[in-house]
Amino acid sequence: MGSLKMIEHPLRKSLIDWYDKEKRDLPWRKTNDPWLILLSEVILQQTQVSRGIEYWKKISNRFPTPKALSAADQEELLTLWQGAGYYARARRLHALAVQVSKPFNEGGFDGSIPDSIEQLLQLPGIGAYTAAAVASIAFNRPVGVVDGNVRRVAARQTGNPNPAQDSVRTWSNSMLIPGRPGDSNQAMMDLGAVICKPKAPKCELCPIINTCEGKADPSAYPAPVKRKKSIENFDAAVLLDSVGWPRLIKREKTERFGGMWGPPMSNISTDGLISVGQIVHQLTHRELRVEVWKGQCSKGVDPSSVPMSNLDRKILEIAGAM
Ligand code: SF4
């Protein structure tokens, strides 16, 4: 642990010069609209950039403003969000749109995204990283982002295998080029994603290799954190009607995949049902193991008419639901 050595300005500048030449061509980098920038950051919280582009395009097309989303049903957003995972993000994004769309005298922002870190942090689903990203990119606020990528670059650059979160924040702030905080942060994001990758970093292409104290053995920085995945076991009951449609329920907000639809997975009795196999679904810190059971019901729901997670679609598939 400990503080991190700061990098001199001329070398910081080489990072942004590299960004100006090599930056990734991402659709949200062609807009200054704070809502569309916020939307990209929420999607990228847990979705890869390559897949995030597709979700950003369809959601921003349908909901070009917070007011457009606040006027829509949450389920419509969940339908567009299908397959992106971590559906709580979509529910919180809807709540955020509702909150900012309220008039000023009711505690809202009259449909605009607020421009200060403090106000952004008050919004549903906005943590320190997203607030810093939106404030710097959309509003030119000089605040550095801190996430796993930035921590990795900071650890390697300064040869500190275990930097404290506060020191990474100070280091990230020190890397901002005056007048271009958003670009500075995006340069750091691109460097972490494209060059200073967790495995096999491309040091020979790195614009800040001269200051890097960890380049001889980048894999040593940061020190690996051993985290064992927890395993959760479930049973899912796929009960089909005479045309092959399954009985589906809308999951409670407090449950996993809340707001999405799927076959019953809690408090079910498997008496009289037939086991048709197991699905193993990997999440970042958890492994879900779902034993799938099949039976009959009098009336099902057309699965294409409701928003469902990828896991629920796999469950229906293995049970032969239409
Ligand atoms: S020289 Fe290599 S390890 Fe150091 S910051 Fe650049 S890519 Fe990362």
Ligand 1 contacts CB of residue 215 (under 6 A): yes
Which atom from ligand 1 is nearest to the alpha carbon of 203? Answer: 2
Class of the CATH-defined domain 230-318: alpha beta
Closest by CA to 154, choosing from 106, 211, 226, is: 211
pLDDT of 7: 66
Q: Tell me, yes or no, if 41 is annotated catalytic.
A: yes
Q: How far apart are CA 28 and CA 126, in angstroms?
A: 18
pLDDT digits (tens, 9 = 90+) for 114-152: 999 999 999 999 999 999 999 999 999 999 999 999 999
pLDDT digits (tens, 9 = 90+) for 245-266: 999 999 988 888 899 999 999 7
Handedness of CA 89, 90, 93, 95 (dihedral sign): negative
Based on the number of CB atoms within 10 Å of its own CB, is 285 exposed (0-12), middle (13-18) or buried (19 or more)? exposed
Which amino acid does the sequence have at 322? Answer: M
**For ligand 1, atom 8: residue with the closest CA:** 196
2-11, 88-97, 191-200: least confident range: 2-11
Q: Taking the model in full, what pTM does it have?
A: 0.85
With vertex at residue 37, the alpha carbon angle to CA 32 and CA 40, rounded to the nearest 5 degrees, is: 150
Please provide the average confidence, as pLDDT, over all residues in the chain.
Answer: 93
Which atom from ligand 1 is nearest to the alpha carbon of 202? Answer: 7
Q: Which of 8, 22, 41, 317 is catalytic?
A: 41
**CA dihedral angle for residue 137, residue 138, residue 140, residue 146, rounded to 10 degrees:** -40
Provide the residue ranges of all domains of the chain, joining segments of one domain with +: 9-220, 230-318
Q: How far apart are CA 221 and CA 6, in angstroms?
A: 17
Q: How much of the chain, in percent, has pLDDT values that exceed 70?
A: 98
Tell me the C-alpha to C-alpha distance, in Å, between residue 19 and each of 79, 100, 126, 174, 258. 35, 33, 26, 17, 39
Q: Give the relative orientation of helices 88-101 and 34-44 as an angle to the nearest 10 degrees.
A: 160
Residue 2's pLDDT band (cuts 50, 70, 90): low
Best probe residue, ligand 1, of 204, 206, 217, 219 (max atoms within 8 Å of C-beta): 206
Q: How far is the CA of 218 from the centre of ligand 1 (A)?
A: 7
Which atom from ligand 1 is nearest to the alpha carbon of 212? Answer: 4
Q: How far is the CA of 144 from the centre of ligand 1 (A)?
A: 19
Ligand 1 contacts CB of residue 195 (under 6 A): yes
Question: What's the count of helices (H) and strands (E) in the chain, helices before strands?
Answer: 12, 5
**CA dihedral angle for residue 174, residue 175, residue 178, residue 182, rounded to 10 degrees:** -120
Mean pLDDT of the region 20-30: 97
Q: How far is the CA of 152 from the centre of ligand 1 (A)?
A: 9
pLDDT of 135: 98
The upper half-sphere exposure of residue 77, i.e. CA atoms within 13 Å in the direction of its Cβ, equals 28
Please tell me whether residue 205 adopts helix, strand or coil conformation: helix
Q: How far is the CA of 56 from the centre of ligand 1 (A)?
A: 30
The CATH superfamily of 9-220 is Hypothetical protein; domain 2 (1.10.340.30)
pLDDT of 283: 85
pLDDT digits (tens, 9 = 90+) for 154-204: 999 999 999 999 999 999 999 999 999 999 999 999 999 999 999 999 999
Ligand 1 contacts CB of residue 15 (under 6 A): no
Q: How far is the CA of 82 from the centre of ligand 1 (A)?
A: 36
Q: How much of the chain, in percent, has pLDDT values that exceed 90?
A: 86
